[in-house]
Amino acid sequence: MKRRFPLYLLVPLLIALISVPTGFFYVDWNKSGEGAGLYSRDWKPEAIFAYWNPKDFYQSVDTVVGVFDGEQCVQCHQGVTPGIVNDWRKSRHAKPSGQQATVYCSDCHGNNHEDLHLPTPDVCGSCHDKQHGEFIDEKRYGFPSHSLAMERALDAKHFADKPKAEVTACLQCHSVASKCDSCHTRHLFSAAEARRPEACITCHSGPPHPDDETYFHSKHGQLYLAEGENWDWSKPLSKGNYPAPTCAYCHMDAGKHQVADKSIWQFGIKQVNPLTAGNIVKRKQWIDLCSDCHEKDWSADRLKEMDAERKRAWKKLYKAESILKSLRSDKLLFPSAKQRPFYPMNSESDLLHYERIGFFEGQASAFYNVSALERDYFEMWYFENLTAYKGAAHGDASFIKKGHEAMDKSLKLIQDKADRLRFIGELENNIKNDQQKYAPEKLWKNGEYTLYNRDNN
């Protein structure tokens, strides 16, 4: 007797066979619009995006027609863009070592002037295979990482929703994923330049990641400021070559193009167990690196100090979160998610409307759709907390103190505001006439910017 395939297994199997390819088709269709990323059909790029994301947006100029060799490119551009040519002439591309051939404009941009392209990492990788491979391999660590930075920006709902002129600056830094000249500025492409901290602080500065401030306030940074102009930056990033470490020395060990390799990843923005098997390996890598200049025991103690600082920080952050979540559960956060404009790319008919509190949800507070208390917590978590963390990570005690003092102040502010909301909530509960109760959605859903944003973004 033949055994029949169970019907209860056949139905989910058929659903999977239909839904999986349909899902892939839907994602591909969404990415085929004028923009890029998951919401490419919902926005159009500004002209400057061609330089931040050349693979998706660059269009060759049509003012010159013809196919030219490299020497002809140099001859023409010596008159049109002499600064670019002068930088190129000083580069290793123009003066290769040994028997290597000169790398001309046409090798990176193409030789057909009607079909030029800006060099993407794939183009650079055709010669710099090792560096490109390390860079692409960083994707396995997930967000945040250099190799996924552009994808992180383009796939964000708030990026798709905001006017493109407002988010141009976002792509300027996130373009580290789509072109190598974020670190090796064109057309010199100097490794020596990229080894200096200034190459990194173009992007790594400001409230969410005060890497420049904390580095330059540290003893390492002070040594660099005092003596760095006299260092030989042509030397590799290896032991004994530099009197004090820089961003690249620590995060790109021996020049490895993968900054996520040693980091105890996301340690600053969410609570991470520093003693998992993977993190123990990373901690050993850090201790070995610090031991280029310091004793191993001393280096290990610095990591333990950072562990202690993180525990202090998360104790404060979780206390603030618990206050907000309690207000949310008691329906005392105003305006609530249903009383304010819906989050970008969502609609008022969506089933889930909730206030965004905590790690992944809380990041939304940087852009839209939050009450004043949620924004207070966002700044406590994303600005003040990271100030303290970066101070601990870079050896700057002043920023640890500054960050924790700001968190203490914010925690008190959040508690005081929560107490006031509970007091007002009790008063409103005693109002029997619903018409006398305040309706915040009238203010939030009908403002001039809100209406413009709804119709134009």
- pLDDT tens track for 390-449: 999 999 999 999 999 999 999 999 999 999 999 988 888 887 666 666 677 777 777 777
What is the DSSP-derived secondary structure letter of residue 67? B
More confident: 270 or 440: 270
> Poorest-confidence range of 159-173, 334-348, 425-439?
425-439
What is the DSSP-derived secondary structure letter of residue 144? S
Q: Is pLDDT of 220 > 90? A: yes
pLDDT of residue 195: 95
Phi/psi at 112 (5° precision): -90, 110
More confident: 442 or 216: 216
pLDDT of residue 242: 95
Q: Return mean pLDDT, the chain.
A: 89
Phi/psi at 452 (5° precision): -65, -45
Average pLDDT value for residue range 348-359: 78
Is the CB of residue 73 less than 8 Å from the CB of residue 105?
yes
Is the CB of residue 345 less than 8 Å from the CB of residue 157?
yes
Phi/psi at 396 (5° precision): -120, 100
pLDDT of residue 437: 65
Is the CB of residue 47 less than 8 Å from the CB of residue 164?
no
pLDDT of residue 67: 95
Is the CB of residue 412 less than 8 Å from the CB of residue 320?
no
pLDDT of residue 455: 73
Per-residue buried b or exposed e for 283-292, using 16+ beta carbons within 10 Å of the residue's own CB: beebbebbeb
Residue with tokens 């009450």: 371
Measured between alpha carbons, how far apart are the two ends of the chain, in Å?
Answer: 64
Q: Of 263-267, 306-310, 435-439, which has the strongest mean pLDDT?
A: 306-310
pLDDT of residue 336: 85
- The alpha carbon dihedral of 209, 213, 216, 220 has a sign of negative
pLDDT of residue 5: 62
Q: Is pLDDT of 229 > 90? A: yes
CA atoms within 13 A on the CB side of 6: 3
What does the alpha-carbon distance between residue 53 and residue 164 come to, in Å, rounded to a whole number?
A: 14
Average pLDDT value for residue range 219-244: 95
Q: Is 278 helix (H, G, I), strand (E, B) or coil?
A: helix
Strand ranges in 106-147 using DSSP code E only, listed in sequence order: none
Residues with Cβ < 8 Å from 346, sequence gap 6 or more?
A: 157
The model's confidence at residue 23, banded by pLDDT at 50, 70 and 90, is: confident
What does the alpha-carbon distance between residue 93 and residue 415 come to, in Å, rounded to a whole number?
A: 60
pLDDT of residue 434: 63
- Both tokens of 355, joined, read 């206030």
pLDDT of residue 142: 84
Is the CB of residue 383 less than 8 Å from the CB of residue 391?
no
What is the DSSP-derived secondary structure letter of residue 235? S
- The alpha carbon dihedral of 193, 194, 195, 198 has a sign of positive
Q: Is pLDDT of 1 > 60? A: no
pLDDT of residue 250: 93
- Both tokens of 249, joined, read 């020395």
Q: Is pLDDT of 198 > 90? A: yes
Average pLDDT value for residue range 129-154: 92
- Residue 407 identity: M
